[in-house]
Structure formats: structure tokens, C-alpha cells
Chain A
Amino acid sequence: MITVSNLGKKFGKLEVLKSIQVDFNHGSSYAMIGPNGSGKTTLIKCILGMVIPDTGIITVNGKPIANDWSYRNLIGYMPQIGRYPDQMKIGQIFDMIRDLRQDQSHMDEDLIREFKLVQMRDKRMHTLSGGTRQKVSASLAFLFNPRIMILDEPTAGLDPIAVEILKEKILAEKNKDRTFLITSHIMSDLDELTSNVVYLEEGRILFNDTIDLLKEETGEVKLGKAIASVMKRNLKDAEKV
């Protein structure tokens, strides 16, 4: 569904992505893991067309995304930190995004309802707490039943109840033939939600396979431990060199 080939990006002298090669297949869910600054968010922003890569091609459904915008009809995106115009009300944000999307046939308002955002329609964005903003971001991402869901640290900043609501929603949608791309630092969440893992470090993909295989390889039962042992192995390899 999404193919990324030979993707490279530099910010000034800093090489953030180094010829990334990865496919995100239809109907699978991917956990993107990596230390801070490993290039996860930059990769996501490249897929969304917010950051223009220096080299390489990204295609969505076989079509290259450069100079195209219509493919974003297929994508629901929840940013790491949702930032919204201060003066707008919650209701207006939803109205505006609805206005912009062409496909409005079946809206998914489950999250708006469960996060109780309807009651807060008239609150202005700058009065909201970080967690409530995350709720708005999540509801917006799921609103149009997109085929591809990109969630950048979805559970960060949410209260435990909201986290459970969101996780249940993701699990329910996973069975509906969606592609999920989730970054997080909370391994237990990813263990529950995703089936594949893409491990990024310093702009390179070091591991890309199913979680089951990773656990088998390392002999660990939990994703967190498995990843930790991969990281240690990489460190040792680096020391040998």
C-alpha cells in the first residue's frame, strides 16, 4: 500500500533519513520504534508530504506522492502534538475538516461521542488541555474511515480511560482491513496493537519483520524485552567494528 524506496533527507548537515527502504502492506499494522531523534516523525511527515525528501520515492497505492495531494484522502493522521488555531472552537475544526474532505459518505463519529467532545463544541482550542487536544486529533484521524491510519504517539498525554477507549477503537478498526502505522515508546501498547515492527535507529531501518518473529529470534515473551535485546546486540556489533 505504501512503498518507500531509497528515501533520504537532510536537515542542514544532519542526515535524518539514510536511504530508507520499507513497504507498508495493506491490512497490516506496523509499530515504528526507535530512540528519540531516530527519524520516525520525519519518515511519517515524508509520507504525509509535509517534509519534502531529498532523494527517493514514496508511492501510495502505486502512485508517487510527489506533487500530488489527492492521496491524502486515504490517510488519517494523528500528530504527536496536535496544534490548532487558538481562536477556533472544537466544533469549527470538525466542520472545516468535513468541508475539505470530499468523501463524506460514512463518517465515523464513535470517538467524538466516546471522548464526549460534542458537549465541548463551543470551547476554543487555546483553552483546552493537552490531553483534550489529543482527543480532538484522534477523533479527526478516525473521522473519515481512512484506509491508512498514521498515529504518532497516540497514547501520550491521554488519561488511562481515554487510552483504553483509543486502544479499543484501534483494535476494532484493525479487523476492518486497514493499514496502521503507529509510533510509540510504550512497548506494551504496541505489543497489543500491532503485528509488525519497524525498528529505526539513526535514520536507518535495522529491523523490519513481524513481532512474533522478533520474539522468537530473541527468545523473549514481551516486545519491550525483545527490542531491548536487539538494541544491545547492535551496541555490541558496533563495539566490535
Chain B
Amino acid sequence: MIKIAKYILYDILRNRFVMLYTLFLLVVTFSMFSLDSDPGKATLSLLNIILLVVPLVSIIFTTIHFYNSYEFIELLLAQPVSRKTIYFAEYFSISMALATAYIVGVAIPMLLLNFSESSFYLIIAGLLLTFVFVALAFAASVSTRDKAKAIGVALLFWFYFTLIYDGLILYVIYSFSDYPLDKVTLAMVSLNPIDLARIIILLKLDLSALMGYTGAFYKNFFGSSVGVIYSVLFLLVWALAPLLLAMRRFVRKDI
């Protein structure tokens, strides 16, 4: 697998897009910390940008890359290599490339500018989100042969998790406000990887009240360290489940 991943990584790193992404993250991180003197607030602003940008870039880049490497997959399939190996090599190299961009663009400058617990959790959350959305992009890509359709599905995933899902939660809370909804909201939050990532940081930033109802409740329910472990575990499930489902599909796919 490593042998194949080496060549895929080489191909990705020659791509200017990953460079631009790294540069963008660098600029955002530096500007957030230079604009705001309070590191807590700066982390929060950065969080909001990361929660939008990291999933979007991960899911779109992966989908496009998957279709562009169709030839490569074809070439490998005529060789004595198993499909699982090819699949995991693809996942490994794409997520590694994006994770490297994130580490260079956000993690290293943050550790230099503001070495604190909340920065550490922001880094973890961003990396986990990368793995989750790369996996979701694979799920979108293997299900159709049509590139445009797959990009559409990928974008839909992103819209759903960043915008639509929050609306749904609000709607549920609003219309059933007469009932005790604590556990229901907790369950609903677990079904959205972006919310889970947000919770990790907010719990650590001690700004959970800012997040409103769910944040306050979440903190109350878990205390911060259990909440973090819970969120991280659920994010891992969010990465593994689509990854394995898409693999089952890829193994039986006609290339």
C-alpha cells in the first residue's frame, strides 16, 4: 500500500491546489491572531472559519481527485494488486496530503502564536474533520460514474452538515420546546460531525454558553473531558463508517 501511496502523494503534491489551500490556512491563522489581542476570541474566530473551510475543501478536492485518478486506478487494476490496497492507498494519500496542509497552515503557526490547550484541541478537531470529509467524499465518488453528480452529492453533504442540519436542530428544539429535549439534542448533535468538532473546542474554550442551548447542556451533561472523548470517538466513527461502506462498493465496482 505504501508503495502505491508514494506515487499518488507525489501526484497530489504537484497539484497547485494543495499549495493554495496551505497558503490560505496560513494567512487566515496569522490574520486572526494579529487582529484580535485576546487569544480565546481569535481561536473562536478561527474555529468558525475552519469549520466551514476544512470540510468544504476536503470533500470537493477528494471527489475531484478521485475522478482524475480513474486512469491511475485502471492502470493499477491490471497489475497484481488487490482492490482494497488501491482503495486504502488512495484514502491514505489524500487524507495525508490535506492533513499536512492543515498542519503547516494551522497547527504549526498556532503552536507558535498561542500554545494552549484550546489550540491543541482545535488542531485535533480540524484533522478529524479532514479524515471524516475525505471519507464522505469517497462514499459520494464510488456511488456514481458521473463526476458532476458526485460533486453535487459531495456539496450536498457539506450543505447538509453546515447549514441544513443546524436548521433542523433549531426547528426541533423550537417546536418541541415544551418537552425535555436534552437527550434528543445530544443524539442529534452526534449525528453531525461538524457539530461534534465544534463542541470539542467550545468545551475547552469555556465559551460553551456562547454556543447556546446545546453547548450549555452538553457541558452540563458531560463535564468537559468526557465530552471531548465522546466527540472524538464519534468523529472517528464518522470517518470509518463511510470509508468502509465505500470500500465494499469499490471492491465490486466495474471500472
Contact = CB atoms under 8 A, between A and B. Distances in A.
Interface in B52-82: 68-72, 74-82
A101 B80 contact: yes
| Size bin of chain A's contact surface | 20 to 34
Contact of A50 (B3, B71, B77, B81): B77
Interface string B211-255: 000000000000000000000000000000000000000001111
A52 B252 CA distance: 7
Contacts of A38: none
A14 to B, nearest CB: 13
B11 A79 contact: no
Contacts of A93: 75
A100 B78 contact: no
A12 to B, nearest CB: 11
B71 A48 contact: no
Which of A11, A45, A69, A101 has the most B CB atoms < 10 Å from its CB? A69
A210 interface: no
Given A85-B11, A88-B7, A92-B7, A72 B74 contact: no
A48 B83 CA distance: 12
A50 B254 contact: yes
Interface string A37-48: 000000001001
B252 A100 contact: no
Contact of A84 (B72, B80, B81, B82): B72
Interface string B1-32: 00110010011001100000000000000000
B7 A51 contact: no
Interface in B61-111: 68-72, 74-83
A84 B72 CA distance: 6
Interface string A45-69: 1001111100000000000000001
A207 to B, nearest CB: 27
Nearest to B13: A87
B254 A85 contact: no
A85 B71 contact: yes
Which of A48, A79, A87 has the most B CB atoms < 10 Å from its CB? A87
Contacts of B81: 69, 72, 100
Nearest to B4: A100
Given A51-B254, A87-B11, A77 B71 contact: no
Which of B7, B76, B81 has the most A CB atoms < 10 Å from its CB? B7
A96 B2 CA distance: 12
B80 A69 contact: yes
A69 B82 contact: yes
Contacts of B3: 96, 99-100
Contact of B80 (A50, A87, A100): A100
A55 to B, nearest CB: 14
B78 A75 contact: yes
Contacts of A72: 78-81
A45 B255 CA distance: 9
A52 B81 CA distance: 16
Nearest to B3: A99
Q: Which 3 A-B pairs have the closest CB atoms?
A: A83-B71, A72-B80, A77-B78
10 contacts: A45-B255, A50-B254, A69-B81, A79-B74, A87-B15, A93-B75, A96-B3, A96-B7, A100-B80, A101-B79
